[in-house]
Amino acid sequence: MIELTQIQRRQLRAAAHHLHPVVSIADNGLSEAVVKEISRALAAHELIKVKLYGIERDQRDAMLGEICAALDCAPVQHIGNVLVLWKENPDKDAPKARTGGKPLTKKQAAAAAERPRRLKRI
């Protein structure tokens, strides 16, 4: 499990405020499919909300710890029936090509860095 400082946690809580839950967990609990879906969502977004339905308070705390231990992510916030999770994605910083979403080659990235930026006219 990743440990966050108070400043990091505060910044992530502020960033998560406007997010909607991307994964829901109901009476069936934390199955392997749900863990995989949370993992996919964390890889795509880094910061996600998980909504819990019909799960008691004690079980929610245990579930949060179980998710964070299984996926090596950081618990940002647990408020009511909503969990906020964060996991850094190292591939997210790689520059993407305009078409296809593939990472740029070293030659393409160097050429893009040398080109002057064009400003949009309003």
Q: pLDDT tens digit string along 52-89?
A: 999 998 899 999 999 999 999 999 999 999 999 999 88
Using the predicted structure, report yes or no on whether residue 92 has a pLDDT greater than 70. no
Residue 82 — φ and ψ, nearest 5°? -120, 130
Strand, helix or coil at 108? helix
Q: What is the CATH number of the domain that holds 80?
A: 3.30.110.60
> Do the domain assignments include residue 110?
no
Higher-confidence residue of 100 and 97: namely 100
Nearest residue to 45 (alpha-carbon basis) of 17, 13, 19? 19
Alpha-carbon torsion (70, 71, 72, 76), positive or negative:
negative
> Do the domain assignments include residue 37?
yes
Using the predicted structure, report yes or no on whether residue 121 has a pLDDT greater than 70. no
> Do the domain assignments include residue 82?
yes
Is the pTM for the entire model greater than 0.95? no
Residue 118 — φ and ψ, nearest 5°? -90, 135
Q: Tell me which residue range forms the domain holding 35.
A: 6-91
* pLDDT the model gives residue 102: 67
Look at the chain and report how many structural domains it folds into. Answer: 1
What tens digit of pLDDT does each residue of 15-59 get? 999 999 999 999 888 999 999 999 999 999 999 999 999 999 889
Nearest residue to 64 (alpha-carbon basis) of 90, 117, 119, 25? 25
> Do the domain assignments include residue 79?
yes
Amino acid letter for position 20: H
